[in-house]
Structure formats: structure tokens, C-alpha cells
């Protein structure tokens, strides 16, 4: 069976608070664990009122405390924002607190606007260019340690598994060269998905961590009892993407009855193209869409972002999506 996993941004909904978003994240993780999901990842973003997962390692610890067996980790840490040593210490700490459960997914983008990225106090150009070397440094810091070398404590000897995340062909080449598992952000960047998967599989070099290619792909997922209800809740994601395109920062929008008065024709086309792989509908509709996505991509694992403002509907979507595993087995 292809594993299902969850990607969470700890969204702050209009009218809500950061404290509520953190409580909701814990409830989502508990629901996902009970429903049989494989991983629960949080993503690093900065300067966005709707996203509260900026202190990603701290929030992963919160999820770890709320659960007992589901894998936890980052999807991802934006490595150019940080020193590899700091990340090794943070995730070495998490690995000691939650043995055998922690993943470190790594991205190359800043996860924010350039002004905020500069405020994170790293040389962004140098950080992006040094990304491959920083990954190698992380592998060393999580390894057994060398005399005379800088040591991550905690971190040394923890062997935290690394993942490469990406939305372009660059990360596919790098993940293949380093022999690391690869996660593609097709939930918001669909265009290069198939080329990236093909490059990664064709050029993969076995490593100490992984002996064969392993591909995860992301989708937005909203499953409800009816197609109409699912489409209604999905308008929150559509509104959020319009706001991002307009550079209108705000909290995660509540759903609306119709999108007609909220977007132009050009915006509608852009959003529908960007979110073309979203799985939205009743269980029957979602099964058809999911079967096609798995058939076309041949992925090894699916990670789902649940962009639903209402907490009860979001938890219901997590449960209903987990019930689609029969179609996953058939498609595989």
C-alpha cells in the first residue's frame, strides 16, 4: 500500500489565534495517527499571517508530544536560512526526544519574501549556492563524528534521515546524485512534476541511506460527504492563492458560497492551473482523481495538505481521505 502523509502549515484562520492553530495542529496529528497516516510534516514559512509554523523544529516537538508513533518532521526546513550546525542540533534534539520517528526534509527556497529572508541574517545567495555542501555537512554532523571537527550535540550519531524537497528540476538532479528520497511540491507547483520524477529515477545513485529511488508527491486534499461540500471548503485555498498573487497578506480565508465575485477570469485560470492536482470531492470523486494521479506518477508515497478553515471539516477530511487507501492498493 502506498503510504499517505500529512503536510501542515499550522494555518491561522480568519478570526482565530496562533494558540488555536497550535491546538488544531495537535488534534490533526492525533487524528492522522489514529487514521493510519505515515508521516506528519510541518513546513517552514516566515512573515505570513496565515502560517504559524515558522519555528518549525519547536512545532515538530509539539506534534511529537501529542502523538506516539506517527513519523514527524519537516516538509521542509529552508536550509539557506540556517547554519547546518543549528539544524543538526535542533533535529538531533528531536531525534533524542522521539527516537526513530524524525525526518528532516530540506528545501532551497527562503520560504518568504526577500526582505524577511534578509532579516533571517544569512547571505541568501551564498546559502543557495552552498546548498549541496550544506547537505553533506548535515550528513557529517548526524554521523559518528570526527576528531577535530565541529560536533553537533545533540545530533552526533543520530543518523536523522534526510529528504530533498523541490518544485523544480534542480532538486531532482541533486536528490538523485546524493541518493536521497525526493518530495515534489506538486500541490502548488505542478508544471515540472513529471520531468522531475523522470530525472530523479533515471539518475538515482544508491547511497548509505537509500538503495533505490523513493518519490513522494504533494496534493491539496479536501474530501467531504458530498462534492458540493468539498468544493465549498476548497474555496479557502483558492482565495488564499489569489491573495498571494495580489500580495495581500492575511489570515487563512473562510470559505465562500461562490468564487465568481472573488476572482477575475485570468486569476481563475491561474489558480486552477496551479491547483490542478488537488483532490476535491466526495469519497467516490476523490477516488477517481487519486487513482489517476497515482497511475500517471507512479509515486511511492502521497503527502496531502488539507486547506480547510473549519476544524471539524478538516478532521473529517483527514478521516475520509484515509479511507481511500483501497483505491491506492488497486492502483499500485
How far is the C-alpha of 182 from the C-alpha of 94, rounded, in Å? 22
The predicted pLDDT at position 117 comes to 72
Number of residues assigned to the chain: 332
The residues, ordered by sequence, that sit 6+ positions from 218 with a Cβ below 8 Å of its Cβ are 7, 183, 184, 185, 186, 187, 188, 302, 303, 304, 305
CB contact at 8 A, 187 and 172: no
The predicted pLDDT at position 331 comes to 44
Query: Per-residue pLDDT tens for 274-324?
Result: 999 999 999 999 999 999 999 999 999 999 999 999 999 999 999 999 999
User: Residue 7: beta bridge partners?
Assistant: 41, 305
User: What's the average model confidence in pLDDT over 105-112?
Assistant: 81
Residue 243 has pLDDT above 80, yes or no: yes
Residue 114 has pLDDT above 90, yes or no: no
Residue 326 has pLDDT above 80, yes or no: no
The residues, ordered by sequence, that sit 6+ positions from 315 with a Cβ below 8 Å of its Cβ are 27, 28, 31
Residue of 78 and 111 predicted with greater confidence = 78
As a whole-number percent, the residues of the chain with pLDDT over 70 amount to 94
Residue 328 has pLDDT above 70, yes or no: no
How far is the C-alpha of 299 from the C-alpha of 38, rounded, in Å? 15
The predicted pLDDT at position 107 comes to 94
Residue 330 has pLDDT above 70, yes or no: no
> Beta 215-223 vs 182-184: how paired, if at all?
parallel
Least Cα distance to 35 among 331, 330, 314, 332 occurs for 314
The secondary structure of residue 252, as a DSSP letter, is B
The confidence band for 44, taking pLDDT boundaries of 50, 70 and 90, is: very high
How far is the C-alpha of 267 from the C-alpha of 64, rounded, in Å? 39
Task: Reply yes or no: is the peptide bond before residue 23 cis, omega within 30 of 0.
Answer: no
Residue 138 has pLDDT above 90, yes or no: yes
Query: Per-residue pLDDT tens for 164-176?
Result: 999 999 999 999 9
User: What's the average model confidence in pLDDT over 28-53?
Assistant: 96
Where are the alpha helices (H) located in the chain, listed in sequence order? 18-35, 56-66, 84-97, 114-119, 124-129, 131-141, 169-178, 193-203, 227-245, 265-274, 283-297, 311-322, 325-331
Residue 119 has pLDDT above 80, yes or no: no
How far is the C-alpha of 277 from the C-alpha of 309, rounded, in Å? 20
How far is the C-alpha of 144 from the C-alpha of 62, rounded, in Å? 28
Q: Which pairs from 285-292 meet CB under 8 Å and 24+ separation?
A: 285/227, 285/230, 286/221, 286/223, 286/230, 286/320, 286/321, 286/324, 287/324, 287/327, 290/324, 290/327, 290/328, 290/331, 291/327, 291/330, 291/331
The confidence band for 118, taking pLDDT boundaries of 50, 70 and 90, is: confident
Residue 152 has pLDDT above 50, yes or no: yes
pTM higher than the cut 0.85? yes
CB contact at 8 A, 172 and 197: yes
User: What's the average model confidence in pLDDT over 25-48?
Assistant: 96
How far is the C-alpha of 255 from the C-alpha of 262, rounded, in Å? 11
How far is the C-alpha of 332 from the C-alpha of 320, rounded, in Å? 20
Query: Per-residue pLDDT tens for 120-136?
Result: 765 656 656 789 999 99
The predicted pLDDT at position 253 comes to 97
3-class DSSP assignment, residue 248: coil
Amino acid at each position: 500500500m502506498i503510504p499517505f502523509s500529512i503536510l501542515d502549515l499550522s494555518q491561522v484562520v480568519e478570526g482565530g489565534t496562533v494558540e488555536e492553530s497550535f491546538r488544531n495542529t495537535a488534534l490533526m496529528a492525533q487524528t492522522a495517527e489514529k487514521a493510519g497516516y505515515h508521516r506528519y510534516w510541518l513546513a517552514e514559512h516566515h512573515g505570513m499571517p496565515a502560517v504559524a509554523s515558522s519555528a518549525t523544529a519547536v512545532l515538530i516537538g509539539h506534534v511529537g508530544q501529542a502523538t506516539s508513533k506517527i513519523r514527524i518532521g519537516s516538509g521542509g526546513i529552508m536550509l539557506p536560512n540556517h547554519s547546518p550546525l543549528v539544524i543538526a542540533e535542533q533535529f538531533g534534539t528531536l531525534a533524542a526526544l522521539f527516537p526513530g520517528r524524525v525526518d528532516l526534509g530540506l528545501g532551497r527556497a527562503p520560504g518568504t519574501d526577500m526582505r524577511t529572508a534578509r532579516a533571517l541574517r544569512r547571505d541568501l545567495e551564498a546559502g543557495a549556492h552552498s546548498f549541496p555542501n550544506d547537505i553533506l555537512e548535515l550528513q557529517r554532523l548526524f554521523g559518528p563524528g570526527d576528531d577535530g571537527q565541529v560536533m553537533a550535540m545533540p545530533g552526533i550519531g543520530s543518523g536523522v534521515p534526510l529528504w530533498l524537497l523541490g518544485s523544480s528540476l534542480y532538486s531532482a538532479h541533486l536528490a538523485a546524485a546524493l541518493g536521497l528520497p525526493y518530495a515534489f511540491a506538486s500541490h502548488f507547483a505542478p508544471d515540472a512534476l513529471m520531468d522531475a520524477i523522470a530525472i530523479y529515477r533515471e539518475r538515482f545513485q544508491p547511497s548509505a541511506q537509500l538503495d533505490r529511488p523513493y518519490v513522494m508527491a504533494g496534493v491539496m486534499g479536501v474530501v467531504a460527504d458530498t462534492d458540493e461540500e468539498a468544493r465549498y471548503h476548497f474555496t479557502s485555498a483558492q482565495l488564499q492563492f489569489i491573495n498571494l498573487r495580489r500580495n495581500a497578506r492575511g489570515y487563512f480565508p473562510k470559505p465562500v458560497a461562490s468564487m465568481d465575485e472573488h476572482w477575475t477570469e485570468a486569476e481563475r485560470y491561474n489558480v486552477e492551473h496551479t491547483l490542478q492536482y488537488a483532490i476535491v470531492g466526495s469519497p467516490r470523486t476523490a477516488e477517481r482523481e487519486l487513482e489517476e494521479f497515482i497511475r500517471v506518477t507512479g509515486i511511492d508515497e502521497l503527502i496531502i495538505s488539507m486547506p480547510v478553515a473549519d476544524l471539524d471539516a478538516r478532521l473529517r477530511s483527514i478521516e475520509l481521505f484515509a479511507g481511500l487507501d483501497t483505491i491506492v492498493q488497486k492502483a499500485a
